[in-house]
C-alpha cells in the first residue's frame, strides 16, 4: 500500500516537471516560426524575390498612360452637351361620384345646371421635363442625340460645358435607329470627329461621356472596353428597329442617352442608347449605336430631309434546324424567302419564293435582322450580290436596290391617325418595359396621349395602356398599328386587346372619323 502511494507520487512529480519543460519550450520557440520569440520577423527574408518598389520605367509608363486619359477627357468633354426637354402634358383628374352622370353631360339640363356644370373630371396641365446628352459633330452647331430623348417634346435646350444654354431645333429624327439630329445657332463650336465603328475591336478601350442621373453630374466621364459588337434582336428599338449595337462596360446610366462613346483617338464611335439591367441602374452592360450608322442617318436627314434606305422587296424568315433538314441544307444559316413583292428589285432580279439567301455581298447572313439592316444601310441604286441556294445548288444573283417606301402613316399623317382614333401611341421599348415593369416578351404599343372626350377614352382606354392587338391582329410596332387604322372603312368598330398591369381585356369603340 505504501509502495503504491510512493509510485503515484513519483509519477505526479514527473508529469509536473514535463509540463513545465513543454511550456518553456513553447514560449521560448513559438511553433511555426523557427526563430526566437525575441527576434523581429523579417518579411523580406521569406519573399526575397518579390519587388518592393515600383520600377521607374513602369511608373513612367503608367503616368504617361494616365496623362493620356486625362488629355483625352479634356479634349472631348467640351464637345458634349446636356439636352434638356419640356413638354406640356394634359391629364384628367381622378374620378368622383359625379362620373355617374358622364353619359348625360351633353344633355342641356346637366350641361347648364349650376350644380353639375363644373363637377365632372377636370383636365390639368403640367410641365414634364426630361434630360439626356448629345455630342456636337460640327463647328456650326449640328448635334447628335437619341430620338427617344427628344420625341414629342415642346422645347429643347442644350447646355454647353461653359454652362451657356442654347435653344435647339430638331432637324430630323429616326425612331428606327433612335438617332436624332439637332441644330443650334452658333459658330466655332468644339466638335468631335467621326471614327470608323467598323474598325472597333472587342477589348478596345473606350470612354463614355454624358449627364447621368441629372444636371448635377453633367459631363461625367467613365472608362471601359468594347465588350462585343453587332448585338441585335434585343428589341430595344421595337420590332421595326435596325439594331447593331456596340456593347460596352463603360458605365452608362439614365441621362447618358445620346452621349458619345469615344475611342482612344478621341473619335466618335458610338451614341450611347440603352442599358441591360435588372435593377434599373448600370450593371456592366451598356449599348451604343455605331457611329457609321449614326453618320449615315444624319447625312440623309441633313441632305434629303428624311432617312433614305435600300429596298429589296421580299418577305423572309430565319432558317432553323428543322427547316435546314427539311430543305436538305448543309447548315442552319441564312433566311428563306416567303414572298416576293411584285415589280420589286428582287422580282426583277429573278429571286423566287423558297430561295435560301445565305450571303450578302460575300458575307454570311447571321439573322433576319442582320439582313434587314445591311439592305437598309445601302443607298438606293446600289447593286448588291445575294448568294442563295435553290434546289440544292448555290448561285449568285445581282440585285439593284430600290428605295424603301416611305412610311407616310407613321410620319407625316400621324396627326391624322390621332384625329381618327382620339389618341396617340408610341413604341414599347425595352426601357419602357423596364420602367413600367412589363415582361420582356410582351410586344405591343403604348398609349401616349388620349383625348378624354374621345370614344376610346369613354369606353375605358387610358394613358399608359399597352395595346397588344388591333382587330384581332397582333401589334408589334407603331407602323403596324397605324397601318391597321388606315385600313378601316367608314362604320368599322375598332377592337383592341389591352394590357393594364397584370390584367388583359378588350375595348371596342367607334372611330371619330374615317
Catalytic residues: 148, 178, 257
CA 446 centroid distance within chain: 17
CA distance 386 to 349: 10
**Cell output for 430:** 425595352
Contacts of 123 (CB under 8 A, 6+ apart): 90, 91, 92, 93, 452
**Cell output for 112:** 347648364
- For the CA atoms of 426, 431, 435, 438, the dihedral, rounded to the nearest 10 degrees, stands at 80
Given a contact cutoff of 8 angstroms between Cβ atoms, the answer to whether 170 and 182 are in contact is yes
Given a contact cutoff of 8 angstroms between Cβ atoms, the answer to whether 148 and 428 are in contact is no
Q: How deeply is 88 buried, as exposed, middle or buried, from its count of CB atoms within 10 A (0-12, 13-18, 19+)?
A: exposed
The DSSP 8-state label assigned to residue 99 in this structure reads: G
- For the CA atoms of 156, 161, 162, 167, the dihedral, rounded to the nearest 10 degrees, stands at -10
CA distance 360 to 374: 8
Contacts of 305 (CB under 8 A, 6+ apart): 172
Report the DSSP beta bridge partners of residue 446. 426, 466
**Cell output for 326:** 427539311
HEC profile of 134-150 = EEECCCCCEEEEEHHHH
The DSSP 8-state label assigned to residue 194 in this structure reads: B
Number of C-beta neighbours around residue 251 at 10 A = 20
Given a contact cutoff of 8 angstroms between Cβ atoms, the answer to whether 232 and 106 are in contact is no
HEC profile of 41-82 = CCHHHCCCCCCCCCCHHHHHHHHHHHHHHHHHHHHHHHHEEE
Helix, strand, coil percentages in the chain from 3-state DSSP, rounded to 5: 25, 30, 40
Given a contact cutoff of 8 angstroms between Cβ atoms, the answer to whether 379 and 310 are in contact is yes
Residue for grid cell 353639375: 116
| DSSP letter for each residue of 268-310 | EEEEEEEE--SSSS--S-EEEEEHHHHHHHHHHHHHHSS---E
Amino acid at each position: 500500500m505504501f509502495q503504491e502511494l510512493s509510485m503515484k507520487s513519483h509519477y505526479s512529480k514527473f508529469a509536473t516537471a514535463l509540463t513545465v519543460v513543454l511550456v518553456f519550450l513553447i514560449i521560448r520557440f513559438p511553433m511555426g516560426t523557427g526563430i526566437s520569440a525575441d527576434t523581429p520577423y523579417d518579411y523580406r527574408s521569406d519573399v526575397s524575390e518579390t519587388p518592393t518598389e515600383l520600377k521607374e520605367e513602369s511608373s513612367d509608363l503608367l503616368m504617361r498612360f494616365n496623362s493620356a486619359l486625362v488629355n483625352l477627357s479634356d479634349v472631348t468633354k467640351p464637345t458634349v452637351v446636356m439636352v434638356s426637354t419640356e413638354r406640356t402634358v394634359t391629364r384628367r383628374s381622378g374620378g368622383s361620384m359625379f362620373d355617374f352622370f358622364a353619359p348625360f353631360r351633353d344633355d342641356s339640363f346637366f350641361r347648364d345646371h349650376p350644380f353639375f356644370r363644373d363637377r365632372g373630371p377636370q383636365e390639368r396641365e403640367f410641365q414634364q421635363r426630361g434630360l439626356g446628352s448629345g455630342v456636337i459633330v460640327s463647328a456650326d452647331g449640328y448635334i447628335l442625340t437619341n430620338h427617344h430623348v427628344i420625341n414629342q417634346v415642346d422645347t429643347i435646350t442644350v447646355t454647353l460645358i461653359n454652362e451657356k444654354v442654347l435653344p435647339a431645333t430638331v432637324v430630323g429624327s429616326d425612331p428606327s435607329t433612335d438617332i436624332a439630329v439637332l441644330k443650334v445657332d452658333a459658330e466655332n463650336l468644339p466638335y468631335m470627329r467621326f471614327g470608323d465603328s467598323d474598325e472597333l475591336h472587342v477589348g478596345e478601350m473606350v470612354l463614355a461621356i454624358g449627364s447621368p442621373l441629372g444636371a448635377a453630374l453633367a459631363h461625367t466621364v467613365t472608362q471601359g472596353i468594347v465588350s462585343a459588337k453587332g448585338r441585335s434582336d434585343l428589341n430595344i428599338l421595337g420590332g421595326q428597329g435596325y439594331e447593331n449595337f456596340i456593347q460596352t462596360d463603360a458605365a452608362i446610366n439614365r441621362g447618358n442617352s445620346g452621349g458619345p462613346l469615344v475611342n482612344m483617338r478621341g473619335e466618335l464611335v458610338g451614341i450611347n442608347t440603352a442599358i441591360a439591367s435588372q435593377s434599373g441602374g448600370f450593371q456592366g452592360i451598356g449599348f451604343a449605336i455605331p457611329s457609321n450608322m449614326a453618320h449615315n442617318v444624319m447625312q440623309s436627314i441633313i441632305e434629303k430631309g428624311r432617312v433614305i434606305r435600300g429596298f429589296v422587296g421580299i418577305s423572309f424568315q430565319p432558317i432553323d434546324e428543322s427547316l435546314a433538314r427539311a430543305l436538305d441544307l448543309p447548315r442552319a444559316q441564312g433566311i428563306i424567302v416567303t414572298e416576293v413583292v411584285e415589280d420589286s428589285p428582287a422580282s426583277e432580279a429573278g429571286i423566287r419564293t423558297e430561295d435560301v439567301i445565305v450571303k450578302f455581298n460575300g458575307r454570311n447572313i447571321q439573322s433576319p435582322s442582320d439582313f434587314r439592316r445591311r439592305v437598309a444601310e445601302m443607298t438606293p441604286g446600289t447593286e448588291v450580290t445575294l448568294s442563295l441556294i435553290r434546289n440544292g445548288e448555290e448561285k449568285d444573283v445581282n440585285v439593284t436596290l430600290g428605295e424603301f417606301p416611305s412610311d407616310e402613316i407613321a410620319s407625316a399623317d400621324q396627326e391624322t391617325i390621332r384625329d381618327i382614333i382620339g389618341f396617340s401611341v408610341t413604341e414599347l421599348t425595352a426601357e419602357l418595359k423596364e420602367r413600367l415593369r412589363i415582361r420582356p416578351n410582351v410586344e405591343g404599343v403604348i398609349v401616349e396621349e388620349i383625348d378624354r372626350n374621345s370614344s376610346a377614352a369613354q369606353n375605358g382606354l387610358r394613358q399608359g395602356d399597352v395595346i397588344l392587338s388591333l382587330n384581332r391582329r397582333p401589334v408589334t410596332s407603331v407602323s403596324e398599328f397605324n397601318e391597321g387604322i388606315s385600313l378601316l372603312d367608314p362604320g368599322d368598330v375598332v377592337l383592341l386587346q389591352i394590357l393594364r398591369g397584370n390584367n388583359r381585356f378588350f375595348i371596342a369603340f367607334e372611330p371619330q372619323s374615317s
